[in-house]
Amino acid sequence: MTSKLSSVLAAAKAEGRAALIGYLPAGFPTVDGGIRAINALIEGGCDVVEVGLPHSDPVLDGAVIQTADDIALRGGVRIKDVLRTVQEVATAHPGAAVLVMTYWNPVDRYGVARFAADLAAAGGAGCILPDLPVEESEEWRKAAGEHGLDTVFVVAPSSKDERLAEVTAAGSGFVYAAAVMGVTGTRSAVGSMAEDLVARTRATTDLPVCVGLGVSNAEQAAEVARFADGVIVGSAFVKRILAAGDDEAAALDGVREQARELAAGVRRR
Amino acid sequence: MSEKDYLPGAQVPDARGYFGAYGGRFIPEALVAAVEQVAEEYEKAKADPAFAAELDALLKDYTGRPSPLTDVHRFSAEAGGARVLLKREDLNHTGSHKINNVLGQALLTRRMGKTRIIAETGAGQHGVATATACALFGFDCTIYMGEVDTQRQALNVARMRMLGAEVVAVKSGSRTLKDAINEAFRDWVANVDSTHYLFGTVAGPHPFPMMVRDFHRIIGVEARQQVLDRTGRLPDAVVACVGGGSNAMGIFHEFIPDAGVRLIGCEAAGEGAETPRHAATLTKGDPGVLHGSRTYVLQDEDGQTIESHSISAGLDYPGVGPEHAWLKDTGRAEYRPVTDDAAMQALRLLSRTEGIIPAIESAHALAGALELGRELGPEATILVSLSGRGDKDMHTAAEYFGLYDEPGAGNASGDNTANGGK
């Protein structure tokens, strides 16, 4: 059976374009405001959304997402709120694939089987767990498989070829190529590492390869879309919301407009 | 797990870095290659007699090992008459046990061809030791330290800068050790080609818990023989403070097969383990994943880390090394909470009875020894890891005990204890 995530990515491919994947943390700036913001990403043109489950110790995130996580956690966001976010977004946009992205400990603490069951029940399509390497992932993958969830693994420029084969064999949905060495955050240049990593990853798998490296504008999205199956954008959306301050309408317009520009970028020939 | 699994030479941890259910390697893909390189290089170094010879020479001629074993008779009188013996890691170069591990990893860094070292520090002792080794070996050095800790351990910040290190005050989260580790990991992910993360405790992803323990094993190896030579028998108990747990693992490890020797770790209970303000991870925490390994963690029901509190920056950490988690679950070691106040009273007692000012971290072990001595009585012998010296803590102690002159008060006696010590 083809998963929701796979069919959404296949549909983009059938249009001859890369997919646009947007990230925002749940609960940012509030639970309901976060739901509206993630809906705005999809309205603007994101094919897939990653709902962040904020964590107290986001060691892979740069200052922008740390700030958003802090706001969400200080606002009291709970795992049940993250699951409600997934449910509301998935219900409002049945054509989009909704993933959760989080560090491992919240899932571990919630209960691996329970989290997989509740995420699937909420209409979630899968999970990205960037601090859960393949070697530690067996229990999760079993639970995810039982509930029809995809598990997206991350590869990095430092991953050796034999390692890439191991990682891509374990994953499903797509492969997340984190194509710069460093924490999350917007960057001005795409650089050559990304294309090389995508090529090396493709040599090991038929899964789509989507790239995250701090893309923030249509030009960068177009550049990445030429060699990748999907373009992942997170910090740029978070920045828009932070810049809007307390003006929620401006924040929603901002991220919707940004998604629209990026969606045009991935369609550029 | 039976006790025999813990004999030297047994496969502890297993190939994936697990001590029973604890340990492992929960790291981002970007760090997998670097952590594997550390593990491989460490295995090669262990098999290389030249590595051991160079490390031994440094430990002897630079650090000043072996560190002495000191009988503290006047202090013992307060410990129910039990004989208390201090393993004097405070007399190592740089003033704590931390240098043992730092020199080992500095040699490893050179073998890996890396030129830059980063490290986290809480009390500043690991940071000072790391800055020292970087000066000695000619490495670039960046130390991450929580902003709260840069204030309460300002002397060590100055020492690190004097040694040529860059000290970054970390302003995220609780602004203490946990957040310094987060920031060091972020640096490592971005600079892994040139940089070794010289992790300072027996936590983190495999191989760090095993490797850091191995570099500190010398504490227990020396102390066990010194106690035998001095007293003709093994001690009844070995007591050490536990934050991440490096000095405790170092002194415990050689005694693990000695079933008659109790191993007692003293955790920071802050204002009390029953209050929200403590760092008693093994007493009050639950199994989870923090900083790359499965271990006990102070966390809420959603798996968010709870901020710890201790007057001691070095013990102010909501995690603990995975081998301690296993020692706790197997019952081979016991872990007791020690409050800020008990530690400070022990700090003053050792200063006044023996002329030795201990670090506040080590004072937690001293407080544990006082309590244990009163339980065991005068026939008992208690070995205590005096992991560091207290110079760095004089500002905290002076404020705690009111040792500074009130402006214009003219009282320079330094004996301002009439306020009950607070």
Q: Does A62 touch chain B (CB under 8 A)?
A: yes
In this complex, do B189 and A133 lie within 8 Å of one another by their Cβ atoms?
Answer: no
- What is the distance in angstroms between the Cα of A173 and the nearest Cα belonging to chain B? 18
Residue with structure tokens 């020894």? Answer: B369
Q: Which domain holds residue A218?
A: 17-263
CATH topology of domain B20-58+98-212: Rossmann fold (3.40.50)
User: Does residue A20 contact residue A233 with C-beta atoms inside 8 Å?
Assistant: yes
A199 CB neighbour count, 10 Å cutoff: 11
Write the residue in B25, B28, B193 that is nearest to A130 by C-beta.
Answer: B28
Other beta carbons within 10 angstroms of residue B367's beta carbon come to 27
Reduced to 3 states, what is the DSSP secondary structure of residue B346?
Answer: helix
Alpha-carbon distance values, B47 to B41, B257, B259, B402 (Å): 10, 24, 30, 53
Residue B200 CA: distances (Å) to CA of A4, B101, B106, B247, B320: 45, 7, 12, 10, 12
Predicted pLDDT of residue A179: 85
In the predicted structure, residue B416 carries a pLDDT above the cut 50: no
Checking if the pLDDT of B141 tops 50, the result is yes
Structural domain contains residue A219:
yes
Give the pLDDT of residue B373: 98
Question: Which of A73, A181, A182 comes nearest B304 by C-beta?
Answer: A73
Q: How many independent structural domains does chain A possess?
A: 1
Within-domain flag for A8: no
A181/B193 CB distance under 8 A: yes
Q: Are residues A79 and B28, on separate chains, in Cβ contact within 8 Å? A: no
Answer yes or no: same fold for B20-58+98-212 and B62-95+216-401: yes
Would you state the pLDDT for residue B148?
A: 93
Q: Under CATH, to which class is B62-95+216-401 assigned?
A: alpha beta
CA of B295: which chain A residue's CA is closest? A105
Q: Would you call B290 and A183 a contact, using CB atoms and an 8 Å cutoff?
A: no
Cβ-nearest to B303 among A60, A62, A108:
A108
pLDDT score at B421: 44
Put simply, whether A27 touches B (Cβ < 8 Å) is no
Q: What pLDDT digit, counting tens, does each position of A136-191 carry?
A: 999 999 999 999 999 999 999 999 999 999 999 999 999 999 988 788 887 777 77
The rounded mean pLDDT for chain B is: 93
Residues of B in contact with A78 (CB under 8 A): 302
A166 is catalytic: no
Lowest mean pLDDT among A78-92, B14-28, B51-65, B407-421: B407-421
Give domain status of residue A229, yes or no: yes
| Residues of B within an 8 Å Cβ radius of A | 16, 24-34, 172-173, 178, 182, 185-186, 189-193, 286, 288-292, 297, 299, 301-305
ipTM for the assembly? 0.95
CB spacing of A57 vs B182 below 8 angstroms: yes
Contact of A162 with chain B, judged by CB distance below 8 Å, is answered with no
Determine contact, residues B347/B53, Cβ cutoff 8 Å: no
Residue B4 pLDDT: 42
Q: pLDDT at position B218, please?
A: 97
Provide the pLDDT for residue A1: 67
Name beta bridge partners: A71.
Answer: none
Identify whether B44 is a catalytic site residue: no
Integer Rg of chain A from CA: 17
Its pTM stands at 0.95
Residue B12 pLDDT: 78
Q: pLDDT tens-digit profile of A34-78?
A: 999 999 999 999 999 999 999 999 999 999 999 999 999 999 999
Q: Considering the domain boundaries, does residue A1 fall inside one?
A: no
Mean pLDDT of A106-125: 98
Q: List chain B residues with CB under 8 Å of A183.
A: 186, 189-190
β-sheet bridge partners, residue B86: B70, B384
Report the share of chain B in percent with pLDDT over 70.
Answer: 94
Q: Which chain B positions have a beta carbon within 8 Å of A74's beta carbon?
A: none
Q: Do the beta carbons of residue B297 and residue B259 sit within 8 Å?
A: no
Angle (CA) A92-A97-A102 rounded to 5° is: 105
Give how far the C-alpha of residue B320 lies from the chain's centroid of Cα atoms, to the nearest Å.
Answer: 10
CATH number at residue A180: 3.20.20.70
Q: Would you say A77 and A27 are in contact if contact means Cβ atoms under 8 Å apart?
A: yes
Question: 């001095």: which residue's tokens?
Answer: B230
Nearest to A133 among B25, B185, B303 (CB): B25
Please state the domain extents for chain B.
Answer: 20-58+98-212, 62-95+216-401
Q: Which residue in A has a C-alpha nearest to residue B170's C-alpha?
A: A63
Question: How far apart, in whole angstroms, are the C-alpha atoms of residue B142 and residue B124?
Answer: 13
Q: Is residue A268 part of a domain?
A: no
| pLDDT for res B149 | 93
DSSP class per residue in chain A: ---HHHHHHHHHHHTTS-EEEEEEETTSS-HHHHHHHHHHHHHHT-SEEEEE---S--TT--HHHHHHHHHHHHTT--HHHHHHHHHHHHHH-TTSEEEEE--HHHHHHH-HHHHHHHHHHTT--EEE-TT--GGG-HHHHHHHHHTT-EEEPEE-TT--HHHHHHHHHH--S-EEEE-SSS-S---S---SHHHHHHHHHHTT-SS-EEEES---SHHHHHHHHTT-SEEEE-HHHHHHHHHTTT-HHHHHHHHHHHHHHHHHHHH--
Give the gap in angstroms from C-alpha A8 to the nearest C-alpha of chain B.
Answer: 26
Write down the pLDDT at residue B7: 45
Contact B291 A57 (CB under 8 A): yes
Spatial separation of the C-alpha atoms in residues B205 and B185, rounded to whole Å: 11
- Per-residue pLDDT, averaged over A92-106, amounts to 98
- Taking the CA of residue B91 and the nearest CA in chain A, the distance in Å comes to 35
- pLDDT tens, B152-168? 899 999 999 999 999 99
How many Å apart are CA B366 and CA B373, to the nearest integer?
A: 10
Q: Write the pLDDT tens digit of every residue in B1-52.
A: 344 444 444 457 999 999 999 999 999 999 999 999 999 999 999 999 999 9
| Residues of B with Cβ-Cβ distance to A104 under 8 angstroms | 26, 289
Q: Is the peptide bond before B257 cis (omega within 30 degrees of 0)?
A: no
Of the residues A55, A131, A134, the best mutation for testing chain B's interface (the one with the most B CB atoms within 10 Å of its CB) is: A131
Q: Is position A81 annotated as part of the catalytic site? A: no
User: Is B409 a residue whose pLDDT tops 60?
Assistant: no
Beta strand extents in B116-258 (DSSP E only): 116-121, 140-146, 166-170, 195-197, 237-242
Report the pLDDT averaged over residues A209-216: 92
